Amino acid sequence: MATHPATVLERRRSAAHVLEHSKWRGYLPRQSGFKKFVEKDIPGLADMVAICRHVLAGYESKNVESSESKKPFFSNLLTQDDLAAQPEILEFAISPVMTEIVTDYLGAVPRMHCLGIFISPVTNTMISSQCFHRDEHDFRQVKIFVNLDDVTGEEGPFTFLPAPETAAVCRAVGKGWGAGRLTDDEVLGNTAPEKVVRLIGSAGDGAFVDTSRCLHYGSRTIKGRRAILMIKYVSAPDALVEKDKPEMPGYPLTHFPPEQIPKDGVGRLMLAPHGFGGFSSVREDAR
Ligand SMILES: O=C(O)CCC(=O)C(=O)O
Ligand SMILES: [Fe+2]
């Protein structure tokens, strides 16, 4: 992958161009760190959801087992082959609307770190990302979560606390950056229940969430199963020193078909190799 590493400066300069005529400035508020939406709010999302549901249906008809995954309660089924067969998936992930919303929030053109279609079957575990946590890849990041089916309280909806309430809870319990997961009691004992946001709703509904600044959990599925699309964007370079590692079953896709990586421009920055090395992926404590 012959690419010049993009400097921070390049990404800031490109941000100015990206946002010059953008109507998405301020759409994802820096203060709250999240924005909920319904399908029709986001151009191209209805088509994207239809494609993801098509991919999902293909897997379900083949009865693919997710038990190989280290996180069977939240397992990605999207493959590189799917990306190659459905180029619209990657196109959406780096589309102008996604680019503009996330660039505006992060203040520079980000890198699309990974994506996946995640299945959360009925589970009796309460571990890892099923517990309240922040994603500590960096101090800020943006993930888009989109329900691919109708989600009620029973299908394990993505659940989070806005950034200001998260800060207050972490202060109250004395758990700062790096202190690990929080119990429900620690969180709910220190915030008003109505502050907790749950992504309950129809297929196509979802949210942009800064999962570094917003405590969150998901996949506490007690009925049926939840299916979501998740795409993650990080600043580049990011706060972690990443090491190359292969894709792991059930984990989000961090490697993209080379022929789909734009040769130049903003799309190239969005899919650039990490840091100054090749493509790489990251293990977080609890994604
Ligand atoms: O919806 C879930 O299962 C939680 C996922 C999560 O923690 C994340 O994507 O950062
Ligand atoms: Fe997470």
Average pLDDT of span 12-41:
97
Looking at residue 6, its pLDDT comes to: 53
Residue nearest (by alpha carbon) to ligand 1 atom 10:
287
Top-level CATH class of 8-270? mainly beta
- What span, in angstroms and rounded, lies between the C-alpha atoms of 136 and 243? 16
Atom of ligand 1 nearest to the CA of 219: 3
Contact, 210 vs 37, CB < 8 A?
A: no
Looking at residue 189, its pLDDT comes to: 98
Average pLDDT of span 32-42:
98
- Amino acid sitting at position 127: I
Name the pLDDT band for 243 (thresholds 50, 70, 90): low
Contact, 209 vs 143, CB < 8 A?
A: yes
Domain boundaries, the chain: 8-270
Ligand 1 proximity of 287 Cβ (cutoff 6 Å): yes
Query: What is the whole-number distance in angstroms between the Cα of residue 64 and the centre of ligand 2?
Result: 24
- Other CB atoms within a 10 A radius of the CB of residue 222 amount to 11
- What span, in angstroms and rounded, lies between the C-alpha atoms of 186 and 14? 41
Q: List, for residues 152-180, the tens digit of each pLDDT value.
A: 999 999 999 999 999 999 999 999 999 99
Q: List, for residues 45-81, the tens digit of each pLDDT value.
A: 999 999 999 999 999 887 666 557 889 999 999 999 9
Ligand 1 proximity of 252 Cβ (cutoff 6 Å): no
Query: What is the whole-number distance in angstroms between the Cα of residue 286 and the centre of ligand 2?
Result: 6
